[in-house]
Amino acid sequence: ETGVTQSPTHLIKTRGQQVTLRCSSQSGHNTVSWYQQALGQGPQFIFQYYREEENGRGNFPPRFSGLQFPNYSSELNVNALELDDSALYLCASSFTGRGEQFFGPGTRLTVL
């Protein structure tokens, strides 16, 4: 059974640029959630995708957007990057209704 994978591992961008992060869900899972974890903080929910539709969103501006594909993999896009977007971005997959979310290793984004 393949776990959750994310790419890239690390990324450095400059303010104002756009970034796309990728996530492959664990085999058998149909739901993907994205979280932002700033240094020294707990993860904050960005949004969740189920059956290719956004299924809940946290307190993040519209420049944070996402996609889910028919194979349940997902992308997180962030436009007009700001310095405060520097964080570890975590993807988690789950099977709807089961509760447990399994996390990938994360993408460390640095915005200069």
Judged by CB under 8 A, does residue 56 bind another protein? yes
Alpha-carbon distance of 71 to 51, in angstroms, equals 10
Q: Which tokens is 63 given? A: 């420049």
Cβ nearer to another protein, comparing 17 with 41: 41
In angstroms, rounded to a whole number, what is the distance separating the alpha carbons of residues 98 and 82?
35
> 50 vs 73, which CB is nearer to another protein?
50
Query: Which residue type sits at 37?
Result: Q
Stretch of 15-23, 44-52, 60-68, 71-79 lying at the interface with another protein (CB under 8 A)? 44-52
> Which pair of structure tokens corresponds to residue 37?
């974890």
Please report, as ranges, the residues that interact with another protein according to CB under 8 A.
31, 33, 35, 40-45, 48, 50, 55-56, 58, 88, 90, 92, 94, 96-106, 108
